[in-house]
Amino acid sequence: MDFDIDRFFEMERKHSLFDDLSAEGFPLWDVIRYKAVILAFYRPSLGKKMDYSFKNLCFVLPLLIKSAFSFLFNKKNNIFFSFSRYKNESGKFYDKSQQEMIEVLSKDSLIVEDIKPSLPYQNRIEFDFVRCYKLLFRRKAVLPLDFYTKVSRAFEESFGVDGFSYAELNEEYTQFLQEYRYYRFYFKWKNPKRIFYISKDIYKGRLLAAKSLGIKTYETQHGSLTRETFGFSYPDFITGKSHIIVPDYYLTMGKFWNDQLHNPTTFASVGNDYYADKMENIPEDGSILIVSSQLHVEQLASLAVELAKQYPSLTIIYKTRPSESFCHERLQQLFLPYSTIRLINNEVDIKTLLHRSTLAVMIYSTVFFEALHFGTKIAIYKACDYKHLSDYFSLPNVYLFESIRELHAIYLKEKVVSNISVYEKFDRHAFESLISRE
């Protein structure tokens, strides 16, 4: 059975999953909730492991040494936990969801992330040593067995599957405790007033560590934020007094996002220039843009091949995410016989491709909302978890298809003029006013 958010919320209510606490008072279900769903329904393909070749180690060791000095002596009021996966015009990596906030607070900020070997960074980065801590202190936690049995039974009754083992959920609980203990130490040493982090990963341990020390916590939007975003979306019976770990504020890229789901945090729109700005005077080139994702590579790659076979005159752009670089070689071999398919990772920005293309094709992707904002025509392939976007199927320029023939018919349709505004310009005043409330 596929994942269904309403069935999931009902499962949580029926089985009182939010009621259980560990002996230390940690909310057990909220800690493992995201991982349980991923394991049960979305086991992702394994990405490429970190390259620890001699060449890359020689490059990264100086960064680690600098980070060690920064760890010891660089103390600021603001710490940004960023994710630099986008290139600026100079070829340096940065986090486009946080960059404007970083620039506002640049004189009193520290930027922390998991530095990758051989990548040039726009900002000065301190390596997040939590990875090292986890390697050194590997003692397993013990997730209560009766709670695991309760969760497993809940999934079995509600969805017909559990999809995870005790060892897997216990590993997630162990990771949480490791992060909580490390960041408690880290924040006590650094003594910041605020932390900002993106919603890429579910770092409940880090969040709880900050909140336990009275540090203000700000989650910054990364991608879409809908009722189907199960890592952050909660059933309606959840309140601020429930056993959950949420930030003090969630900073969104526009007012559109502030009422898309239920979460007892405080939503505040601060905007984002990169996402809000529309590129003028870029003509459509007639191409079809296929927006890949790690969970849908097989389906979308096969779709690209079939489209190239049946309509060899069409130009097809197959755009992978930065996290999908591990499968590029395999995709190159698959697309090699088809000269009309162009494989792109980070070479061209998704924003530029959306403005150029006549049609954007996807199953479920956060790029849907960028396309919606830019007025690009969208075709949703009815496969896998496409229904996660069902709240938006009736919007202008949004179409569904099952066959190549239906897809081509959508390609030929006239685009409708739409004024939907998903993103807003960065509001520096709103951001500064918000963080000055403490």
Structure tokens at 206: 């880090």
- The span from the CA of 151 to the CA of 61, in Å, is 43
Find, among 299, 356, 361, 311, the residue nearest to 338 by Cα.
311
Helix (H) or strand (E) holding 362: strand 359-362
Q: In this model, does residue 141 exceed pLDDT 90? A: no
Each domain of the chain, given as residue ranges in start order, spans 1-272+425-438, 288-412
* 243 pLDDT above the threshold of 60: yes
DSSP states along 262-314: --SSEEEE---HHHHPPPTT----S-EEEE--TTSHHHHHHHHHHHHHH-TTS
> Span 288-412: which CATH code?
3.40.50.2000
177 exposure class (CB count in 10 Å sphere: 0-12, 13-18, 19+): buried
Q: Tell me, what amino acid is at 314?
A: L
Cα separations (Å) of 119 from 41, 169, 424?
33, 33, 30
Q: How far apart are CA 348 and CA 207, in angstroms?
A: 34
Q: Which has the closest alpha carbon to 373: 422, 415, 416? A: 422
Task: Please name which of 150, 123, 188, 138 lies closest in space to residue 28, comparing C-alpha atoms.
Answer: 150
pLDDT at 428 over 70: yes
Residue 52 has a pLDDT of 46
Tokens at 209, concatenated: 């560590």
Q: What is the dihedral of CA 202, 205, 211, 214, to 10 degrees?
A: -140
Instruction: Give the dihedral of Cα atoms 33, 36, 40, 42; nearest 10 deg.
Output: 80
Average pLDDT of the chain, as a whole number: 91
pLDDT of residue 57 exceeding 60, the answer is no
Cα gap 79→187, rounded to integer Å: 10
Q: Is the pLDDT of residue 314 over 90?
A: yes
- Cα distance between residue 42 and residue 114, in whole Å: 24
Strand partners of residue 195? 79, 217
40-49, 265-274, 403-412: the lowest-pLDDT one: 40-49
If you average pLDDT over residues 124-134, what whole number do you get?
89
The band of 363, judged by pLDDT with boundaries at 50, 70 and 90, is: very high
Asked whether this chain's domains 1-272+425-438 and 288-412 adopt the same fold, the reply is yes
The mean per-residue pLDDT over the stretch 348-372 comes to 95
Q: Is the pLDDT of residue 173 over 90?
A: yes
Residue 351 DSSP SS3: helix
Domain spanning 1-272+425-438, CATH class: alpha beta
